[in-house]
């Protein structure tokens, strides 16, 4: 944990200018993804939500607003982010996504946006998301080439297609119900506990075939 923190703790110091503050693109992106998650999942309101890689708490604020009676928890490995996020959420902890201090299935929803690409042990981080999620798992990751990468924050995993990420995320206990490649070169996934090849996966394959055949 300490070695990982040392590797990441400079992030908050480097995020200057347009990357922080109330008009930060990152803040708007976090809030937008959380808003989509909170309003698009057709299920009962969650009793608990975990945001893994919560940064400054913008997604946490969205979940608190939509689900005022739910337990909302955030974790981040950067101490400065934890301090800021604690201003909007009562439960924010400095923790590693690869070693979450929570019980199995402790949270109805687990939300993770733009975090997995930073994790040193990607497989372990994905396992921790699945382990702590009881009903819904919402993941947002970038699709990018290492050669074109210019951000100052350290990325350890690069995938140049949504399918490359999907192969890592598919699991027999989780049903892909939604997948979208966004205009920001991100890919959004929503999984629920259930059969591996659910309707979302079938729709993804059908859309892929239409694209390969030159259809809209």
In CATH, what number is assigned to the domain containing residue 201? 3.40.50.150
CA nearest 158: which of 196, 123, 116? 116
Mean pLDDT computed over 5-29: 47
78-102 residue pLDDT tens: 999 999 999 999 999 999 999 999 9
Beta-bridge partner residues of 114: none
**pLDDT bracket for residue 185 (50, 70, 90):** confident
**Which residues span the domain enclosing 44?**
2-212
Alpha-carbon separation of residue 31 from 19, 56, 59, 71, 94 (angstroms): 14, 11, 5, 18, 20
**pLDDT bracket for residue 180 (50, 70, 90):** confident
Does 43 or 67 have the greater pLDDT score?
67
Q: Is the pLDDT of residue 6 over 50?
A: no
The count of structural domains within the chain is 1
H or E segment to which residue 211 belongs: helix 199-212
């Amino acid at each position: 944990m300490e070695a990982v923190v040392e590797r990441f703790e400079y992030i908050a110091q480097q995020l200057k200018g347009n990357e922080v503050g109330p008009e930060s693109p990152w803040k708007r992106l976090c809030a937008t993804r959380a808003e989509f998650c909170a309003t698009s999942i057709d299920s009962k309101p969650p009793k608990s939500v975990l945001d893994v890689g919560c940064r400054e708490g913008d997604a946490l604020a969205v979940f608190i607003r939509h689900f005022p009676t739910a337990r909302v928890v955030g974790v981040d490995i950067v101490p400065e982010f934890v301090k800021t996020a604690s201003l909007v959420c009562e439960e924010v902890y400095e923790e590693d996504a690869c070693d979450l201090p929570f019980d199995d299935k402790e949270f109805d929803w687990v939300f993770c946006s733009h975090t997995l690409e930073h994790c040193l042990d990607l497989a372990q981080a994905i396992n921790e998301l699945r382990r702590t999620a009881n009903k819904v798992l919402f993941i947002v990751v970038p699709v990018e080439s290492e050669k074109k990468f210019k951000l100052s924050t350290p990325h350890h995993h690069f995938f140049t297609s949504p399918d490359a990420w999907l192969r890592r995320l598919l699991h027999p206990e989780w049903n892909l119900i939604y997948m979208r490649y966004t205009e920001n070169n991100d890919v959004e996934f929503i999984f629920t506990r259930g059969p591996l090849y659910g309707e979302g996966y079938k729709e993804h394959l059908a859309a892929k075939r239409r694209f390969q055949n030159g259809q809209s």
